[in-house]
Amino acid sequence: MHFTLLPILTSGFLLFAASSARASGFASTCNDITLSGTTLSAECGNGHGESFQASINTNDCIANYGGTLTCAPNGGYSGSCNTCFIEPGTTNMLCDCENGSGGSPASLIDLNSCFTNTFGSLSC
């Protein structure tokens, strides 16, 4: 009787391992990626043949550290970055970010490294 637990635990672990492996890399399962203000939107597959309009506030996942964009929870980069846009045909976001010494150099971050698609919804 107690042997029946093993397959259940094993499949639970495999599900966990599979979802961990999906961390970041949303672009391979999302289309129509756009940035409007700080809102990243995309049409994202749920892994079961359906797709959903998903969006997320990029401030939730990106920070400006001394003029360099970095993936970071609750980063709030938009308080010190301007003129952000996605480089056409890529997942790169470009901004002018204050570096703390009077300059605002251009900084680039690959959004694919900061955002994950989990069953059709976007997260950090």
Ligand X SMILES: *[C@@H]1O[C@H](CO)[C@@H](O)[C@H](O)[C@H]1NC(C)=O
Compute the least distance from the CB of residue 83 to ligand X, in Å. 15
For position 37 contacting ligand X by CB under 6 A, the verdict is no
Instruction: Kindly tell me which of 73 and 105 has the beta carbon lying closer to ligand X.
Output: 105
Long-range contact pairs involving 86-92 (C-beta distance under 8 Å, separation at least 24): 86/33, 86/34, 86/35, 86/111, 91/27, 91/33
Closest distance of CB 103 from ligand X, Å: 2
37 or 105: CB nearest ligand X: 105
Backbone angles phi, psi at 13, to 5 degrees: -65, -40
Closest CA to 32 of 14, 49, 52: 52
SS3 9: helix
Residue nearest to ligand X (CB): 103
Residue span 56-95 as binding mask against ligand X, x where in contact by CB under 6 A, dash where not: -----------x----------------------------
